[in-house]
Structure 1
């Protein structure tokens, strides 16, 4: 691992993002405090969107063409508790995948940069 690698490269590229998203959504869908947000969502499509977004957010060499975080979440009336539940599942997933703590911290920093947009504040 070199200093100039992106977070995307440090965590293992698309294979790592794919594995993390699949485990992450299993946790999210088992969480009754947030699973209802996905009741009428195609999870195949959602997983694809999440993989593309995370790859982009972590520095993958691609263009993200999806909705902005604010636009994608505007209709959901999300609270800080919802955001924290999702973030917690992401952190648990990364621990489960044995991602080093320093890289988990980088992921948390990326997630926190989206918080205001996700919550619409």
Structure 2
């Protein structure tokens, strides 16, 4: 039986560790940190862990707000989306996730780009 991307990433605990470090990077980035100023980061980290676990084939159902509703009115542009994606890719690399698996995670996230990016540069 073939391992899922979720299993190759190490499961929920490993994904949670990546998410924690990912948000540390995001919050240190002036370009995008302001989006999270009024956000309960403990809850945000839990939702992101659940989301990534779900989209990578884990035995987890994402129960958070739909992506379009969650990002409505935020005015995220392509450069900001790219910055977030770069932080995720770099964090995954730091955890020695193989390039193919990093690309697969980013492809899953990129599938939501059109509902997240709503502002022009």
TM-score range, shorter chain: over 0.9
Summarize deviations over 1:41-68 as a string: whole Å, max 9, x none. 1111111111111111111112211111
- Contact 2:26–2:84 (8 Å) recurs in 1: yes
What is residue 33 of structure 1 aligned with on the other side? Answer: 31
Report the structure, 1 or 2, having the larger strand content: 2
When normalised by structure 1's length, the TM-score is 0.93
Runs of 4+ in 1 over 4 A off after TM superposition: none
Spell out the pairing of 1:70-81 with structure 2 (5 A cutoff). 70-81=68-79
What is residue 6 of structure 1 aligned with on the other side? Answer: 4
Distance 1:120 1:5, change over 3 A: farther
Distance, in Å, in 1 between the alignment partners of 2:42 and 2:94 is 22
What is residue 18 of structure 1 aligned with on the other side? Answer: 16
SS at structure 1 position matched to 2:51: helix
Match of 2:50 among 45, 52, 56: 52
When normalised by structure 2's length, the TM-score is 0.93
Distance, in Å, in 2 between the alignment partners of 1:106 and 1:97 is 15
- Unaligned runs of 5+ residues in structure 2 are none
